[in-house]
A and B are shown apart, each in its own frame.
Chain A
């Protein structure tokens, strides 16, 4: 992948060492560039998994008729993490799509985790606290759901 021009604009010539505590110019602009790249990689990864799962889904269910008129919640196999893992191991298409979706949901959460680390490197206590609060609410949503 081509290098992001803004990386060099921020006075850095190193590519993969963004997390080093000795990084010289670790300012907000640099932080946002890394976050942007993080999100891009996450969405590409999850879209690829969803695409693979989707093609398999089409192949497996080609004969069925599609209707989403009546709501029936997804079977428990797609909602419980352990069961989902078994589904993926079996090569179940729905489970693979669901994995891609989980990767996608994890992407913005990773961004917040990264923000906690980045603000900690900047020794910005206020924003470490604020980022941790956002992270706590995100985890609350996960726990409340299950």
Chain B
């Protein structure tokens, strides 16, 4: 395929991946990596390298918008980043040793799990009353703006060790597969640590960039980030995700989420089959 044509197709595909990733809240990586490996026959290592770079771009690009809403909690984020960055370094180290077909199969399992998670993700639980002295000791208790009356709702953080351990796992997945693993991060904060949903999603966005940066050094040094592939992917995903974040404000996405969940589940099965047959 001529280079210009190839790069334009990669850019267009990355744009769609970023758009869908932002609209569904799952991030661009879950569509991008199957697209690159299954449709463009890109080696899994190049795909992971390019995806990891686009993850940093998306997370940083969305940061200013998230901050403006006033939900994110910098202390919770920084504390849990200790776990995610350690996991990410381990994950990237493992990725340079694992055969690509094993990576493809692990990726497939993660896709199917993400599809399953995204069905039930958006529900917001009634604020549970949490009493945990460590929440105050670690300075994590805070308040978020409560839209209707201009007031604030305060919250505390629970089950910190379990949340920390899950975040380590999210970091390993991020470093191993070059994805943001935002779904696992939100799961750890929202469901395990019982942090309000809006605080979880916005804080997770900040953590994704720092987590990805921890494994990026290893990927760069190993030569996984090919400039010719990384530039259309990074620019495409970034543009797509910024547009997605704009659309998201005034649109209903429940049908799209359902379709998307089915699509990534199918992609997951395809990744597992291809990994099993050694075609990736």
Residues of A within 8 A of B (CB): 4-6, 28-29, 31-33, 35-37, 39-40, 42-43, 46-47, 50-51, 53-54, 57-58, 61-71, 73-75, 78-79, 93-94, 97-98, 100-102, 104-105, 107-109, 111-112, 115, 124, 126-127, 130-131, 133-134, 137-138, 140-146
Contact of B82 among A50, A63, A71, A133 (CB under 8 A): A133
Chain A residues, Cβ within 8 Å of B139:
124, 126-127
User: Can you spell out 26 A-B residue pairs with CB atoms less than 8 angstroms apart?
Assistant: A39-B59, A43-B61, A47-B57, A47-B235, A58-B7, A62-B3, A67-B1, A68-B36, A68-B229, A70-B43, A101-B53, A104-B56, A104-B60, A105-B56, A108-B56, A108-B212, A126-B138, A130-B78, A134-B85, A141-B215, A142-B217, A144-B217, A144-B218, A145-B92, A145-B221, A146-B221
Shortest distance in angstroms between B140's beta carbon and chain A's nearest beta carbon?
Answer: 10
CB contact list, B221-280 vs A, under 8 A: 221-232, 234-235, 238
Please indicate the chain B residues that have their CB under 8 angstroms from the CB of A61 in the complex.
3, 228
B64 CB within 8 Å of chain A: yes
Which B residues lie within 8 Å of A32 (CB)?
Answer: 67, 72, 74
Q: Determine if B68 and A36 form an interchain contact, defined as CB atoms under 8 angstroms apart.
A: yes
Does B78 lie within 8 Å of A131, measured CB to CB? yes
Any A CB within 8 A of the CB of B41: yes
From B85, B209, B214, B226, contact of A74 by CB (8 A) = B226
Residues of chain B at interface, number, CB under 8 A: 71
Q: Is B126 an interface residue (CB 8 A)?
A: no
Contact B227 A145, beta carbon cutoff 8 Å: no
Which 6 pairs between the two chains have the least Cβ-Cβ distance?
A73-B223, A36-B67, A145-B221, A74-B223, A54-B231, A97-B227
Chain A residues near B212 (CB-CB < 8 A) = 108
Q: Is the CB of A104 within 8 A of B57?
A: yes
Which among A57, A75, A78, A134 is the interface contact of B81 at CB below 8 angstroms?
A134
> A134: nearest residue on chain B (CB-CB)?
B81
Whether B89 lies near A137 (C-beta < 8 A) is: yes
Q: Which of B73, B219, B227, B229: most chain A CB closer than 10 A?
A: B227
Smallest beta-carbon distance A66→chain B, Å? 4
Interface 1/0 per residue, B181-220 and A, CB below 8 Å: 0000000000000000000000000100110111111111
- A interface footprint on B38-71 (CB within 8 Å = 1, 0 otherwise): 0011110110000001001101110111111010
Find the B residue at minimum CB distance from A92: B227
Q: How far in angstroms is the closest Cβ of chain A from B131?
A: 21
CB distance from B8 to the nearest CB of A (A): 9
Are the CB atoms of A65 and B2 closer together than 8 Å?
A: yes
Question: Do B232 and A54 have beta carbons less than 8 Å apart?
Answer: yes
CA distance A141 to B63 in the complex (A): 23
Q: Interface 1/0s, chain B 86-118, versus A by CB < 8 A?
A: 101100110000001000000000000000000
Q: Is the CB of A78 within 8 A of B227?
A: yes
Say whether, besides A69-B42, A101-B53, A137 and B93 are in contact (CB < 8 Å): no
Chain B residues with CB under 8 A of A101? 53, 220, 225, 227, 230, 234
Q: Are A104 and B59 also in contact (CB < 8 A) when A6-B68, A127-B139, A144-B93 are? A: no
